[in-house]
């Protein structure tokens, strides 16, 4: 069981918007930056969002991140079939002195 | 362009050892924390270990503490993961990544190396 809780799956139609939640606690999300990763089948993960809401160069502005209290959210607008992937949130847990990931969310674009 | 190239994976028997390496290029290796992440088959990502740039402080997941050792050789721009007392549940693709997860995130990743622990 992961320290960070994500929904196992989400789905939406092309062109629509979807949000993926990441729930944690005061020992992780509250006091540390959250990052989000996209893993397409058979490939290495890719950083989508860092420091809660910043996008690396090259990541489309269709992807956004936010954080409030013990939760973080990844938003994806204008869904494309190429967005079908597993998405993970991650942060540091001060109580564990360890990095932690959410269990991952599989996005299906119907 | 940042490049991270892992090597050293393979098939090993339970109780055996492996040493993974990650050759880094395209950035000032000594200035960045580095991280190992693994993905077991049919499971999600698991943070394994990190090493800081400032003072080479090391951190480990409970599942590998006491068995795995992370290190860096800044003269060769290479990150290592020494894995001892390997178990079947260590079977995974192991990725090295540039950065620390709680700071600016894991900005760049290698392609991964497969470790299979089986008799």
Using CB atoms within 10 A of its CB, is residue B73 exposed (0-12), middle (13-18) or buried (19+)? exposed
Q: How many residues does chain A have?
A: 110
Residue-wise pLDDT for A49-69, tens only, equals 999 999 999 999 999 999 999
A77 band by pLDDT with thresholds 50, 70 and 90: very high
Q: How many Å apart are CA A86 and CA A41, to the nearest integer?
A: 8
Q: Where are the beta strands (DSSP E) in chain B?
A: 3-7, 10-12, 18-25, 34-39, 46-51, 58-60, 68-73, 78-83, 92-98, 108-109, 113-117
Give the residues of chain B that fall short of pLDDT 50.
none
Find residues 34-73 of chain B whose CB sits inside 8 Å of chain A.
35, 37, 39, 44-47, 50, 59-62
Residue pair B82/B24 in contact (Cβ under 8 Å)? The answer is: no
pLDDT at residue number A1? 80
Cβ A35–B111 below 8 Å, yes or no?
Answer: no
* A44 in contact with B, Cβ within 8 Å: yes
Q: Could you tell me the CA-to-CA distances from B116 to A80, B5, B93, B113 in Å, in that order?
A: 35, 19, 9, 10
Please calculate the CA angle B33-B34-B35 and round it to the nearest 5 degrees. 135
> What number is the average pLDDT over the span A20-24?
97
A21 band by pLDDT with thresholds 50, 70 and 90: very high
pLDDT at residue number A2? 87
Distance from CA of B76 to the nearest CA of A (A): 24
Structure tokens at B10: 């393979």
> What number is the average pLDDT over the span A7-29?
97
Structure tokens at A88: 């993970």
pLDDT at residue number B103? 85
Residue-wise pLDDT for B16-35, tens only, equals 999 999 999 999 999 999 99
Q: How many Å apart are CA A6 and CA A107, to the nearest integer?
A: 12
Residue-wise pLDDT for B39-53, tens only, equals 999 999 999 999 999
| Percentage of residues in chain A having pLDDT higher than 70 | 100
In a mutational test of the B interface, the residue from A34, A39, A98, A106 whose CB has the highest number of chain B CBs within 10 Å is A98
Q: Is A85 strand, coil or helix?
A: strand
A75 band by pLDDT with thresholds 50, 70 and 90: very high
Q: Is A29 a residue whose pLDDT tops 90?
A: yes
């Amino acid at each position: 069981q992961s320290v960070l809780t994500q929904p196992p799956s989400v789905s939406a139609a092309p062109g629509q918007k979807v949000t993926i939640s990441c729930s944690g606690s005061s020992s992780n999300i509250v006091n540390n930056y959250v990052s989000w990763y996209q893993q397409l089948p058979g490939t290495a993960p890719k950083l989508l969002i860092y420091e809660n809401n910043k996008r690396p160069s090259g990541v489309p502005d269709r992807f956004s991140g936010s954080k409030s209290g013990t939760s973080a959210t990844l938003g994806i607008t204008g869904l494309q079939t190429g967005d079908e992937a597993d998405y993970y949130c991650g942060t540091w847990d001060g109580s564990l002195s360890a990095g932690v990931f959410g269990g991952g969310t599989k996005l299906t674009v119907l | 362009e940042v490049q991270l190239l892992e090597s050293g994976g393979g098939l090993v028997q339970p109780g055996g050892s492996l040493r993974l390496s990650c050759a880094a290029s395209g950035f000032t290796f000594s200035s960045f924390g580095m991280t190992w992440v693994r993905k077991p088959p049919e499971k999600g990502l698991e943070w394994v270990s990190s090493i800081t740039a400032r003072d080479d402080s090391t951190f480990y997941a409970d599942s590998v503490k006491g068995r795995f050792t992370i290190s860096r050789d800044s003269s060769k721009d290479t990150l290592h993961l020494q894995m001892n007392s390997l178990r079947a549940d260590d079977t995974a693709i192991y990725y090295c990544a540039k950065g620390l997860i709680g700071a600016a995130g894991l900005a760049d990743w290698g392609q991964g190396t497969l470790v299979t622990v089986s008799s």
